[in-house]
């Protein structure tokens, strides 16, 4: 590998060097919080975009285009003169020398020095160590996952149109989703919308309403982080779209043709399903293990890094871990936690570099959680206030439009939502990968 030393350019010379790893919510908001500060920021990510993960399911189900939820990071930050955006994967950390090793494009490798480091590497799917779950189901963490799932969903309907064997056609039209959290619920709802509304009258060999959409969760109710009343409302809304909600059910096997589940009594059933979606578990990205090895930080059971109250690593006050990868006071893996903790780390770094008093412990301001269940129905919780149905959906709409990055994206997203939610159509259905027999 060619080895070069990163040069952040002359404007950086002599300034406090803040390196931020990850251009998700944590890293991007930390970067933006430093825009008026006399520091030299380097933002490194293995992708070239900032991903709005909460709307991945809308790319997978043909509502939004990739650009609307994954704008290019350097475009977002083009007016921020003190930041250099760099594509590359952090492969090693030397906490004593205060350097990162970054594998870049074209098999290059470079060393990037820092004075302060913010790590915001996020989570990745966890298959609980089961290789066949990983191999034979589609996860939902990256833009590549969403496009692959889009190809599977729309490809399955295409395959069903030309399949003459009723059993095999039924398997193409069976969509099994594992995990009853917001991602699983939103996906199930939108596949239900496709089958019952958006694709009506398009096929000749079958009626899309024949599609079976199965949502499995091992817990006793879906959306377990919401109030029980909202879980019930979401279940009813899904059932209205023809989704079968199966709780207290454990997935025991997934293969190229089917999914096998066991109920509470242990009795197993195998279901032929060509589309199998994994929305069940997450664990910290591999970067967390590098951080732990370099700094001696503790990792919890899902690999997240234990941080001190100000989001820095105990004994390494110049290294911060924020967002999903941070283990602090049981805070959940939410976009708002990542944004606020990213900003907090940035402010702490600036205060220390100036010799001012640091802001102290990170305090999360809870802005609630929400999940869209169908075309015009959502559930939302905010400090004891529980919203559902159309009112919940309006709250969902306002919050998501507010947090989408860039005016242009908000505008085109609003148009796509109009087309989908009022007109019942899906604009983004082109697929490249054709359905294959596994």
Q: Which of 26, 71, 155, 180 binds ligand FAD (CB under 6 A)?
A: 26
Q: Which of residues 124-143 bind ligand FAD (CB under 6 A)?
A: 140-141
- Minimum distance of ligand FAD from residue 425's CB (angstroms): 23
- Minimum distance of ligand FAD from residue 21's CB (angstroms): 5
Toward ligand FAD, which CB reaches closer, 324 or 327? 324
- Minimum distance of ligand FAD from residue 31's CB (angstroms): 11
The DSSP string of 66-120 is: HHHHS-BHHHHTTT-TTEEEEE-EEEEEETTTTEEEEE-GGGEEEEEE-SEEEE-
Q: Which of 47, 130, 376, 412 binds ligand FAD (CB under 6 A)?
A: 47
21 is an interface residue for ligand FAD by CB under 6 A: yes
**Residue 240 burial by Cβ neighbours in a 10 Å radius (0-12, 13-18, 19+):** middle
Strand order in 174-178's β-sheet?
243-246, 212-216, 174-178, 275-278
Of 357, 280, 367, 359, give the one whose Cα is nearest residue 25: 367
Toward ligand FAD, which CB reaches closer, 92 or 272? 92
Judged by CB under 6 A, the stretch of 11-19, 217-225, 332-340, 421-429 that binds ligand FAD is 332-340
> Cβ–Cβ contacts within 10 Å for residue 87, how many?
15
As a whole number of angstroms, the distance between CA 187 and CA 180 comes to 10
Burial call 426-438: b when 16+ CB within 10 Å, e when fewer: bebbebeeebeee
Are 320 and 347 a contacting pair, CB within 8 Å? Answer: no
> Cβ–Cβ contacts within 10 Å for residue 67, how many?
15
345 is an interface residue for ligand FAD by CB under 6 A: no
Judged by CB under 6 A, the stretch of 47-55, 163-171, 202-210, 250-258 that binds ligand FAD is 47-55
Q: Which of 8, 16, 19, 25 binds ligand FAD (CB under 6 A)?
A: 25
As a whole number of angstroms, the distance between CA 65 and CA 62 comes to 8
Judged by CB under 6 A, the stretch of 105-113, 118-126, 208-216, 253-261 that binds ligand FAD is 118-126
Return all residues near 11 (Cβ < 8 A) that are at least 6 apart: 40, 81, 82
As a whole number of angstroms, the distance between CA 228 and CA 165 comes to 42
307 is an interface residue for ligand FAD by CB under 6 A: no
Q: Which of 186, 193, 336, 428 is catalytic?
A: 186
Three-state DSSP class for residue 312? strand
- Minimum distance of ligand FAD from residue 385's CB (angstroms): 17
As a whole number of angstroms, the distance between CA 142 and CA 70 comes to 10
Of 41, 186, 157, give the one whose Cα is nearest residue 431: 157
Toward ligand FAD, which CB reaches closer, 172 or 320? 320
Q: Which of 307, 311, 338, 404 binds ligand FAD (CB under 6 A)?
A: 338
Of 343, 296, 294, give the one whose Cα is nearest residue 90: 294
Q: Which of 19, 63, 120, 177 binds ligand FAD (CB under 6 A)?
A: 120
121 is an interface residue for ligand FAD by CB under 6 A: yes
333 is an interface residue for ligand FAD by CB under 6 A: yes
71 is an interface residue for ligand FAD by CB under 6 A: no
First to last CA, the chain: 37
328 is an interface residue for ligand FAD by CB under 6 A: no
Q: What x-and-dash track marks residues 180-219 binding ligand FAD by CB under 6 A?
A: --xx------------------------------------
Q: Which of 62, 71, 104, 122 binds ligand FAD (CB under 6 A)?
A: 122
99 phi, psi to nearest 5 deg:
-140, 155
Q: What x-and-dash track marks residues 243-282 binding ligand FAD by CB under 6 A?
A: ----------------------------------------
The reply to whether 37 belongs to the active site is no
292 is an interface residue for ligand FAD by CB under 6 A: no
73 is an interface residue for ligand FAD by CB under 6 A: no
Are 61 and 426 a contacting pair, CB within 8 Å? Answer: yes
- What residues are annotated to the active site? 186
Residues near ligand FAD, by CB under 6 A: 21-27, 44-47, 51, 53-54, 56, 89-90, 120-122, 140-141, 182-183, 285, 287, 323-325, 333-336, 338
């Amino acid at each position: 590998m060619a080895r070069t030393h990163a040069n952040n350019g002359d404007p950086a010379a002599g300034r406090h060097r803040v390196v931020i790893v990850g251009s998700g919510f944590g890293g991007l908001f930390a970067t933006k919080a430093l825009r008026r500060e006399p520091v030299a920021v380097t933002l490194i990510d293995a992708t070239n975009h900032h991903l709005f993960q909460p709307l991945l399911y809308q790319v997978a189900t043909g509502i939004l285009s990739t650009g609307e939820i994954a704008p290019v990071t350097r475009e977002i930050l083009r007016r921020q003169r003190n930041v250099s955006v760099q594509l590359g994967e952090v492969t090693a950390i030397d906490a004593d020398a205060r350097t990162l090793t970054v594998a870049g494009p074209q098999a290059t490798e470079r060393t990037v020095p820092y004075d302060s480091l913010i790590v915001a590497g996020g989570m990745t799917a966890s298959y609980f160590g089961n290789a066949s779950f990983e191999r034979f189901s589609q996860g939902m963490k990256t833009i590549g996952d969403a496009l692959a799932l889009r190809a599977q969903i729309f490809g399955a309907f295409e395959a069903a149109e030309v399949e003459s064997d009723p059993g095999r056609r039924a398997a193409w039209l069976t969509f099994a989703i594992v995990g009853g959290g917001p991602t699983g619920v939103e996906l199930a709802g939108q596949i239900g919308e496709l089958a019952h509304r958006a694709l009506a009258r398009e096929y000749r060999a079958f009626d899309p309403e024949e599609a079976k959409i199965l949502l499995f969760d091992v817990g006793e109710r879906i959306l377990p982080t919401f109030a029980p009343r909202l879980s019930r409302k979401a279940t009813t809304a899904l059932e209205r779209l023809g989704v079968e909600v199966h709780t207290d059910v454990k997935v025991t096997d997934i293969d190229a043709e089917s999914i096998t589940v066991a109920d509470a009594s242990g009795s197993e059933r195998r279901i032929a399903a060509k589309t199998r979606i994994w929305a069940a578990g997450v664990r910290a990205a591999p970067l967390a293990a590098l951080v732990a090895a370099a700094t001696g930080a503790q990792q919890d059971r899902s690999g997240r890094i234990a941080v001190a109250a100000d989001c820095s690593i105990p004994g390494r006050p110049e290294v911060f871990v924020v967002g999903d990868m941070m283990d602090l006071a049981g805070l959940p893996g939410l976009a708002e936690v990542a944004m606020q903790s990213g900003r907090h780390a940035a402010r702490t770094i600036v205060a220390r570099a100036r010799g001012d008093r640091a802001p102290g412990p990170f305090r999360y301001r809870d802005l609630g959680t929400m999940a869209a269940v169908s075309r015009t129905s959502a559930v939302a919780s905010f400090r004891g206030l529980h919203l559902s149905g159309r009112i919940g959906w309006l709250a969902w709409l306002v919050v998501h439009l507010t947090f989408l990055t860039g005016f242009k994206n908000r505008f085109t997203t609003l148009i796509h939502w109009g087309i989908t939610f009022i007109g019942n159509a899906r604009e983004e259905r082109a697929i490249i990968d054709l359905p294959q027999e596994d």
